[in-house]
Structures are given as structure tokens and as C-alpha cells.
Amino acid sequence: MSLLIKRIALAVLVLFAAPLAAQDLLPPAPYAYKQLEDPAQEAKAQALMETLRCLKCQSQAISDSDAPMAGDMRHQVRTRIKAGEDPEAIRTWLIERYGDYVSYAPQNKPIMWPLFAAPLVILLLAGILLRGRFRKAAKSEKAE
Amino acid sequence: MIAEIGLAVLWMAAALALLQLFAGISALRPGGKVLAGVVRPLAVMQGALVAVSFLALIDLFLETDLSVKLVAANSHSMKPFIFKLAGTWGNHEGSMLLWVTIMAVSGGIVALVEKRLREDTLIATLAGQAFVSLGFYAFLLLSSNPFERLPEPAPDGMGLNPLLQDIGLAFHPPTLYVGYVGLSVAFSFAIGALVTRDVGPAFARAMRPWVLGAWIFLTIGITAGSYWAYYTLGWGGWWFWDPVENASLMPWLAATALLHSVSVLASRNALRAWTVMLGVIAFSMSMVGTFLVRSGILTSVHAFAVDPERGSFILALLAIYIGGALALFGIRASTVTEGERFSPVSREASLVFNNVMLCGILGIVLLGTLYPLLTEAFGAKVSVGPPYFNPVSAIFAIPMMMVMTVGPLLRWRKDNPGRITATVAVPALLAALALLAVVVFAPGIRLLPMLGIAVGIALAVASWFPLRGRNLRRTPINVWGMVISHFGIAVALLGAASESAFSTERLAAMNVGDVQSVGPIELKLLSIEPVAGPNWTALEATVSASYKGGEPVTLHPQARTFSSPPGERTESALHTRWNGQLYAVLGNEGEDGRWQMRFWWKPFVPLLWLGGLLVAFGGLLALLGRVAKDIKRLRVFDKLAYRKSRLEQLK
């Protein structure tokens, strides 16, 4: 009896969930929620997925998201890795398809150069600041 | 009626703030002494009135008064009590009222208890506090009135986002806000001291408890926020370099630097200008964070353009306060002397080095967060994420943590490097051994986690060295605080490094009865059943997990469906062991009728949040130690003053 009630409740829940699932009728993506059989390949895929942005979410990588589109992209990445493609080639392919926005790893393009230069500039400034500070200190100490 | 009272009281508080500003300014002018006496009472009254206004809003939410627009838009009669309460600040208007409330109440407390500072500096501080509050009053009253009524009461509320209906998140925003606003007090002190040219140890001692308090709350807020993201988002991530997270990290970085610099100023009378500058930067970062989160600019520059009023308002406030403070600093910086000198090998120097490194990380986080907005202005949509933030912040963080192992052992002003060579050698040797062990036992580990483990182990040991040779019972409580906080940083670093290096993942489609494994753990799906909560229904899996064939434990991950407003959320199940955490998630039902389950085994990951809590606990000890010392000192002063007056009477 109680099993029957549970089954009915389950069925009702699934009914409620059905329209939500139907919103995104993407082609089936078996590798969205399935790992590659070869652990080395899976590790490669995982490392790449962690640096690809889920385009439908706010600030999440595709490896961190339940969005159907992220699942679809995971499937793409895993299938291509399985076929022996190079991770960076897959990234380039995704960038061609979705734009630079899809990659969390900054690309080597003039618009990103200031970002790469920033740590160097900050280190340089810090160096000048610290040096100036201690040179003054050393001088005043000698004067004493 | 309650809504009208709340609004009226809020206007009155704003008027008092205006009065407080003008009374403060005229009291500082020659011949304005008459008004000096009213500034403190005004600050206290202003704090009390805003508190009443905030209580009124809480009452409206608890009663679910649907004739109030804000309540109708964010609450629901069916919501559990605690989330009705949390709903008060879980929205734009309410959170801004909370901000103003904390700010005015802190101003009131400063006015009531601060006795060490020169009176004119205190008045300038309170005037500064009123000046900052006024901007936020204007923002609230002119563009985000929380008490606005609807022409017709709504039939029922819209409810609260299911992701936010979590006990951790109910108290996460107020915790961070206390931190943000505590820094506003530090900012006001900095402004006050600049105005009266009174930057010295007394100013630093008055400011220190506020900086420490704000820093403790920020630490707890960030730690709790990270744990919340970890267990609600359902993928085991704990830090995403999301702009909202960065918005809380930036004030923390600035506050950490300020905290150390203010200690140097209080005890050594050095780093005067630097401390004032950091005071300005720390609160500026709080405001930048609020601007980023509240203006909607984060999702896109275009979202900002759709409703530019609020964003422009906060941007204008930012420009006025940061610009004004920097201008004042520029004018007065020449009158603030550097203070006491020190040599490159001294405790001051190590603190300066780490301050500069913290500011470096701050610069990187700020630039990385704003960079996509900047490029969007040039028509390029880019992302800046972990592949940038992790290595680049490590450039600054790793040297900083290495200096942290030595800094507290150095003497003030000038030290002989030879004196501590032996002490430095121990952590250095440990780090080298750890590095070797990691390379041998975990080949193929990435560079950053490897360095993290080596530096973490060295720091975890070295952080206790300052206690060496001390009588532990007589060691001042604030020294314990420092030791525990530094140890906490090492613990958190080890947790983070271990998580990123050694986590294992298992995604599996399972039938009831199937067995899977992740890392050293064997898992069995026992059943999937529907369950119901007050405003949600869920499917609940029962999973048994056994570590290396040991006694199995059961976990219950859920997939919840919320009704008002509709939404879904995974409720992951965690099993914590001393050496790691098992993380289980129930996903959807696949086409073949099997359930998509996700499991992670994350070795030592709880250290991450344990470390965060240790850091905050150390801060709390330091705060208690300082406050106790200050109270003692005040008593001595009172006694001296009493004796002096007795003596004079006798004469």
C-alpha cells in the first residue's frame, strides 16, 4: 500500500518536472553526466572544462553547472577529447563558435595585454616603493 | 501605519545626520565651541532612529504586509519564519536600509564610548560619518524607498529565490555588511584625523577595534559564503572568482593590510600616511563592492544601462567619497610625517612587505573583476577567471606567506639577520621536505597546489614560534590571537591545495541497488523516495557509503522543487571524516530510467573552512585582548586624574 502511494507521488512529481525538462530539447548528450572511460583522458577533459564558461549561468564553469547548455558543452568536450583532439584545439574551436567570452583563460590578443602586464607593473611599483622607503631609512640612519 | 512610521523616522534620522554634519563643521571652526557638545548626542539619536526604522521593516516582513511593495515583491505568506526575517535584507532596498542602520548605530556607539581620542578629532570623525551616511540616506529615500505602498495590496507575495532559502545565506549578507560598514568607521576616523592633523598612536588605538571587528565579520562572511556555494551549487566548487565573491574579498584584503598597519602605528608610531591611505582604500573597496553587486553592472554593462538610476547614484557616491577622501589625503599628506623609521630587517619592514603584497593581490582582483567591463566598452566580450586569478594572485601570495613565517619573530625597528637564521631554517627545511614528499608521493601534481602544500606546512609550524620561550599563561591574549590567525591561514591554504590536487570525481547513472566507488569510498544506491518540506517537494536518495570497506554510513542527497517562486535546487549530502569529505548529489533521471548521481571524495577539504574560522577566532582573541588592555589603561588614567584632582583640592 505504502509502496503504491510512493509510486503515485513519484509519478506526480515527475509530471510536474516534465514541462521543465521539455524546455530544452537538445540532442541527447550522453557525456554530459558521464565520465570518459580512460582516466587520463577524463583528467584532460576536466582540466579543460574548468576553464570554459557556462554561457547561460553567472560566473560558473561548464564543469560546475546543471544548465542544459553546459551539459551539452561537456558532452562536446568529452567526445572530442575521446577522439584524440588536443584540449587547446577544442578551446579554439569553441572560441570560434561562441567568442572569447567562453574561455576563462585569457587569450593572447592585444586587448588582453594590459591584463598580462598588470602583475609586472604592480611588482615594479612595489619594488620602487619598497626601495625608496628603505633607502630613505638607511640614509637617515647614517645621518644619525 | 508601521510603514509610514518607518519612513518618517528614516527622514528624521537623515535630518539629524545633516545637523550632525553642520554642527561638527562649525564646532571645528574658531569660535564654534558652543556646538561641540551636541555632536555626540546627535550621533546617538540618529543611530536610535534608524534602528527603529529597520525594526519597522522587519515587522512588515514578519507580518507579510502585502500592501507594501517590497514585501509583496520579496516575501510570501507560506515562507518559514526565519526566511521571512531574512527576507528583510534579502533584497536591494532592505539591504541598503540595513547598511545605513549598521552605519548609524556604529556612529552612535563611537559617540558613546570613544574617550581616548582628542575631542576635535572625534567631532571631525562623527562629522565624516554623518557625511558618508547622508549619501546613503539620499540613495535610500530618493531612489530605493523600502516602505513604498502598493495602490492595491497584492493577493500574495512573490517569494524569495530558492537558492537564498538557506539558513547559512540568511545570515551571510548581514555578516558581510557589518564588515563593510565597520570599515566606514575606520574611514571616518582616517578623515577625522586628517582634518585635525592628529594622525598618531591615539588615533590608531581608537580605530583598531573597529578595523579588527570589521575584519572578523568579513572573514566569517567570506568563509560562510564559500561553504554555502560549496554545498548548495551541487558541484563541489568553493570559490569561483565570481565578481560578487571578489566584491567581498577586496575589502577583506584591504582590511587585512589596514589591520597590520594600524597595529604598527598604535605600538610603534610608524607608517602614519600608509595607515590613513589604507583606511581610505578599505572603505572604498566596500563601496566598490556594493556598487558592483547592487548596480546590476555585473551581469553586463547593458543590464546597467536598462536601469541606470541606482547604478549612477552609487557611482556618484563612490566618486564623491573616494575622490573627496583622496583629495583630502593629497592636500594633507605633506603634513602627515612618516613617523618612526625602521631598517629593512625589522618587524615593521616585514609588515610593510606583506601590506604591499596584499595590495598587489587587491590590485589584481580589482583589475580582473573590472576588466570584462572595460573591454566591453571597446566592443570585446571576454572572461577573466580562475586560469588568470589563481596563478597571478599566487605570485604575490606565496612570497607573502613565506615572509609571514619569519615576520612575527623579528624585532621592532632593527634586527640582526643572524639572530633568527636558525629559526628560519626550520620552516624552510620543512617546506623543502614537504615539497620533496609531494613530488615523490603525488607525481604529476600541478605547480600551484604543490607550492601551496609546501608553504602551508612551513607556515603551520612556524606560526607557533612566536610563543617559544614565553610563559604561556602570561602571554598576552592578542599574541595568541595572532598565532591562531596565522595558523588558520596555513590550515585554509592546506585545505585548498589538497582539494585542488587530490579530489576525485565519479559521475554515474545508477539503478537502485547499483554499486559505485569514488576514491577510497564504496557507494550503494539504496532507494529514491519523494519527501516534502514546508514550501518544497523533493526526491530523496538514500546512499550508503563505506570507507575502505568499513562500517557504512547513509547519506540523503535531495533534488528539491520549490513552489513559490518556482525553482529547483539540489541539496547535496556531505559526510565528513577526519581526512576528507564525501560529497553526494542526486541529479535527474536519465532516459533509461537510471538516476544520474555525482560523487566527490575531497581529501582534507574541511580544513579550508576550519582555517577561515580559526582566522576569525584569532581576530576575536586579538580584539578581546586589545579591548581588555584599553579598559585597564582607562581605569589607570581615571585613577591618576582622580588623585590629581584630590591633590589640587588639598593645595
Q: Where are the domains of chain B?
A: 1-165, 504-604
For residue A22, pLDDT over 50 is answered with: no
- State chain A's mean pLDDT as an integer: 77
3-state secondary structure of B468: coil
Partner-chain contact A119 B360, CB within 8 Å: yes
State the amino acid at position B79 in one-letter form: K
Residue range A49-65: mean pLDDT, rounded: 83
Q: Do A101 and A112 reside in the same domain of the chain?
A: no
Cα torsion at B74, B571, B612, B294 (round to 10°)? -30
Q: Do A48 and A97 reside in the same domain of the chain?
A: yes
Contact B95/B74 with Cβ under 8 angstroms?
no
Poorest-pLDDT segment among A102-111, A118-127, A135-144, B478-487: A135-144
- pLDDT for res A142: 55
Beta-strand pair B595-603/B558-562:
unpaired
In degrees, rounded to 5, the angle at the alpha carbon of residue B126 between the alpha carbons of residues B121 and B128 is: 90
Partner-chain contact B383 A101, CB within 8 Å: yes
Partner-chain contact B385 A105, CB within 8 Å: yes
Which of B242, B537, B587 is nearest residue A59 as measured by Cβ atoms?
B242
Partner-chain contact B383 A122, CB within 8 Å: no
How far apart (Å, rounded) are the C-alpha atoms in residues B645 and B651?
10
Identify the residue whose cell numbers are 521539455.
A22
- pLDDT for res A1: 43
SS3 track for B542-601 = EEEEEECCCCCEEECCEEEEECCCCEEEEECEEEEECCEEEEEEEEEECCCCCEEEEEEE
In degrees, rounded to 5, the angle at the alpha carbon of residue B481 between the alpha carbons of residues B480 and B487 is: 90
Q: Do A100 and A45 reside in the same domain of the chain?
A: yes
Each residue of B560-579: b (16+ CB within 10 Å) or e?
A: bbbebeebbbbbbbbbebee
Contact B73/B18 with Cβ under 8 angstroms?
no
How far apart (Å, rounded) are the C-alpha atoms in residues B583 and B505?
9
Domain count, chain A: 2
Rounded average pLDDT per 10-residue block, chain B, 651 residues: 89 92 85 78 92 92 85 80 83 86 91 83 90 90 86 77 71 86 90 85 89 94 89 84 88 95 88 88 88 68 56 82 87 73 83 91 93 84 89 93 88 80 83 89 85 92 87 85 95 94 88 89 91 86 90 91 78 90 87 85 93 95 88 80 81 67
Which of A53, A107, A122 is nearest residue B385 as measured by Cβ atoms?
A53
Output the CA–CA distances (angstroms, integers) from residue B454 to B445, B477, B494, B615, in the order listed. 12, 29, 9, 20
Provide CB contacts within 8 A for B522, sequence distance 6+. B515, B516, B545, B546, B549
Q: Do A69 and A83 reside in the same domain of the chain?
A: yes
Q: Do A6 and A44 reside in the same domain of the chain?
A: yes
Cα torsion at B546, B550, B552, B558 (round to 10°)? -30
Q: Do A69 and A126 reside in the same domain of the chain?
A: no
Which of B240, B395, B539 is nearest residue A60 as measured by Cβ atoms?
B240
Contact B236/B600 with Cβ under 8 angstroms?
yes
Partner-chain contact B233 A115, CB within 8 Å: no
With CA atoms as reference, the chain A residue closest to B363 would be: A122
B137: cell is 540616506
Partner-chain contact B375 A118, CB within 8 Å: no
Chain B environment of A122 (Cβ under 8 Å): 360, 363-364, 396
Output the CA–CA distances (angstroms, integers) from residue B538 to B324, B439, B534, in the order listed. 53, 45, 11
With CA atoms as reference, the chain A residue closest to B500 would be: A47
- DSSP-derived letter for residue A52 is B
Chain B environment of A53 (Cβ under 8 Å): 383, 385
State the amino acid at position B471 in one-letter form: N
Contact B126/B23 with Cβ under 8 angstroms?
no
Phi, psi of B543, rounded to the nearest 5 degrees: -125, 135
Chain B environment of A11 (Cβ under 8 Å): none
Q: Give the CATH number, domain containing residue A100.
A: 1.10.8.640
3-state secondary structure of B542: strand
For residue A136, pLDDT over 70 is answered with: no
How far apart (Å, rounded) are the C-alpha atoms in residues B208 and B202?
10
For residue A13, pLDDT over 70 is answered with: no
Phi, psi of B561, rounded to the nearest 5 degrees: -120, 120
Q: Do A96 and A111 reside in the same domain of the chain?
A: no
Kindly report the number of other CB atoms within 10 A of residue B336's CB atom: 20
| Residue range of the domain that includes A133 | 107-144
Partner-chain contact B387 A105, CB within 8 Å: yes
Phi, psi of A119, rounded to the nearest 5 degrees: -60, -35
Strands (E) located in B60-175: none
SS3 percent helix, strand, coil of chain A, rounded to 5, is 70, 5, 25
Residues in chain A: 144
Identify the residue whose cell numbers are 515562507.
B79
With CA atoms as reference, the chain B residue closest to A98 would be: B381
With CA atoms as reference, the chain B residue closest to A138 would be: B343
Residues in chain B: 651
Which of A17, A35, A126 is nearest residue B356 as measured by Cβ atoms?
A126
Which of B342, B364, B568 is nearest residue A119 as measured by Cβ atoms?
B364
Chain A environment of B237 (Cβ under 8 Å): 60-61, 64
Which of B341, B357, B364 is nearest residue A137 as measured by Cβ atoms?
B341
Chain A environment of B587 (Cβ under 8 Å): 33, 66
Partner-chain contact B385 A21, CB within 8 Å: no
Distance between B237 CA and the closest CA of chain A, angstroms: 7
Identify the residue whose cell numbers are 610593510.
B352
How far apart (Å, rounded) are the C-alpha atoms in residues B506 and B504?
7
Chain B environment of A102 (Cβ under 8 Å): 383
- pLDDT for res B105: 92
With CA atoms as reference, the chain A residue closest to B566 would be: A20
Partner-chain contact A13 B299, CB within 8 Å: no
Residue B155: closest CA among B91, B72, B58: B72
How far apart (Å, rounded) are the C-alpha atoms in residues A56 and B1?
43
Partner-chain contact A33 B378, CB within 8 Å: no
Contact B598/B195 with Cβ under 8 angstroms?
no
State the amino acid at position B439 in one-letter form: V
Chain B environment of A135 (Cβ under 8 Å): none
How far apart (Å, rounded) are the C-alpha atoms in residues B325 and B131?
12
Chain A environment of B240 (Cβ under 8 Å): 59-61, 64
Identify the residue whose cell numbers are 584545439.
A89
Partner-chain contact B380 A137, CB within 8 Å: no
How many Cα atoms are found within 13 Å in the side-chain-facing hemisphere of B407? 20
Chain B environment of A118 (Cβ under 8 Å): 363-364, 367, 392
Q: Do A15 and A35 reside in the same domain of the chain?
A: yes
How far apart (Å, rounded) are the C-alpha atoms in residues B557 and B54?
37
Output the CA–CA distances (angstroms, integers) from residue B255 to B186, B218, B243, B609, in the order listed. 10, 9, 18, 19
Distance between A96 CA and the closest CA of chain B, angstroms: 13
How far apart (Å, rounded) are the C-alpha atoms in residues B544 and B528?
12
State the amino acid at position A31 in one-letter form: Y
Residue of A8, A104, A109 for testing the chain B interface, max B β-carbons within 10 Å: A104
For residue A21, pLDDT over 50 is answered with: no
3-state secondary structure of B590: coil
Residue of B226, B246, B278, B341 for testing the chain A interface, max A β-carbons within 10 Å: B341
With CA atoms as reference, the chain A residue closest to B506 would be: A35
Which of B353, B530, B590 is nearest residue A130 as measured by Cβ atoms?
B353
Provide CB contacts within 8 A for A31, sequence distance 6+. A74, A75, A78, A79, A82
With CA atoms as reference, the chain A residue closest to B341 would be: A137
B638: cell is 581615571
ipTM for this model: 0.78
Output the CA–CA distances (angstroms, integers) from residue B617 to B405, B406, B438, B613, in the order listed. 19, 22, 30, 6
For residue A137, pLDDT over 70 is answered with: no
